[in-house]
Structure 1
């Protein structure tokens, strides 16, 4: 077994798998639904959850025959109920309804609610014998020890959806865990990989949102541009695979073909490769421990010609340096890092902060909070998250003035 806490696997069955998708209207959710609708004989949809896009959620619920559709924003309930009228699909709204949807009977749950808001429903989705496909990295950055401990206690299987972590998950099957020397996550480098430091300083939200390889939501796309995303993924990998900070590294790989590398004590390095399409890791999680016939393009290495790698530039991309320092520090620092970064990215998208100000605000927030021990409970994690957001908002005017 590769992810530390795995439930015993039931015998193979011809019965369809009952699934729920938390974050059904985002990029991960949409890709998941695409795979589900291609194999209706294999999957039955129990619940779909979205933030506030009632129209898109209702359409997805009808297309998949879901039993329940939930919007977390209560203001969107009326539109959802109207769109589902006469369909026989139950509609609900609000944070409590999201948690209840996560707890509905299901064999497999996709946890793709973005940000720290996904922590409570993802924890609620952990259940004995259940497979939880985790696409919300903030769960593990904010409360990684708590999350993985809960998974172990209830006997749930956590399957990593991020392309890099899914690649590690597959690479770790090649040998014993005590023979693993190093795990390297790859980063595309984002839209600013070749830009000068001065050019990056003047970057606009529109430029930062133009990722060269992946189609993702705004938050993760900005994180990719700053390389904070890779820092968050290092913290996530530490918890998912029970690794030390010294065993984790990053390489910039602009083609996004090699998603991670696992190095063993005999010198062997295993690389998982595929085209940059999130349906590859999602399909792996959906069928695990089997395989699906995926609809994605097949990798043609001869057509690519070459693959290139380079070390990350921590001077031009200080967010990654900060995240690596937090990885080594541990404790509550990752919780603070995540909350401060969410405030900083939102401020950048609102043009209240420059691009370099993202790392500046995160660093100032970490200094101001002086993080202690890691949160032991959901309440502690949410309390620290909220406190950090207040501090970050308070520091924002000062950092914006310095970074302008």
Structure 2
């Protein structure tokens, strides 16, 4: 199968992990700090806190923002469920803001309208999580301006977007947010196998994030309720979690950072090939805002319905039968059974639902062979128009 996403692991990555295996530290050692410093330096953020997944990163970011029962978190319905679940983990209510059909990111206009109504009703959110869908940054300056006006915390879900840029600056610098979350799952831009990270420019938030990932304990005498009993002494001062990243994972992630720009550049090359080859076909191609430079985690098209065209389900199934692991990103979160039980219903966020009905994710990853991409293109053309492209055909 040609997967929709796949990690690229080099001999240097393997050597970095083996070096840790031969060292005295497998966890809670120096590799984690090196990885954190590498990402923070690349992005231009003051601090980075590595954890075992982006889901954990979202959770402790919400906790660090003091999100809890009686509060509300808003996010995009066009995302993976973790972007909303992190609010529920904290006991908060969750709501959604519909998407811009062009960028497929949270619509600033819908956000502004919803905030105006919430302000009148006294129901403003405590946290808003814009999601950089497919790697394209949201309009963060506009969201930051709304945050300043209405007083909510902004946590960027940049799980798709490390290596991307907004107005020429790296995603993750937290210029327009309080915290930014990255994912290092194997289908993302770089990988640490499993792993995530929270970036921030606040020393206070960084200290609390570090504490929350490790059981809520501290060895800092200034934070203890009584004098330290000795060099072994620690106190648990709040309820934290074991969300720590291992040195094995961190070594892999730090090694991958050396290839980040090259990986993103290759994804752009492949995306441009899709753009050129599919321009004459019925699908609506992903549009890139001029203020953004996407990390291109995903390449998603919209298959218009009607006019004798096959439906999305039929196209996806036939692509998989031919060895192409096409996918769909995402089922709108508010339509999931768990969120329906909380009162959400189909029709609540029509742009996200309209996009979902037509969405198809084509394979895109930095190690993808052009001959495999040509096979994806020719297969899609054959399914939509009844004939393959002359350049099509996969080399077995």
User: Which one has more relative contact order, counting CA pairs under 8 Å at least 6 apart?
Assistant: 2
Same fold (TM over 0.5): no
Larger radius of gyration: 2
* TM-score bracket for this pair, using the shorter chain length: under 0.3
Specify which structure has the higher proportion of helix: 1
Normalised to the residue count of structure 2, the TM-score between the two structures is 0.27
